[in-house]
Amino acid sequence: MQVAILMTHVAIAIALVVLILLQQGKGAEAGAAFGGGASQTVFGSRGSGSFLAKFTGLLAVAFFATSLTLAYFASQAGEAPEAGIPDAELIEQQNAVPTLDDAGGDVDNTAPALEESGD
What is the average pLDDT across 16-38? Answer: 70
**Using one digit for the tens of pLDDT, what is the confidence trace for 90-99?**
777 666 666 6
Percent of the chain surpassing pLDDT 70: 54
Q: How much is the pTM?
A: 0.50
User: How confident is the model at residue 103, as a pLDDT?
Assistant: 57
The better pLDDT of the pair 42, 24 is held by 24
CA angle 55, 23, 65 (to 5 degrees): 35
Classify 83 as helix, strand or coil: coil
Tell me the per-residue pLDDT of 73-110, one tens digit each, with 9 for 90 and over.
Answer: 988 876 655 666 767 777 776 666 666 665 555 666 67
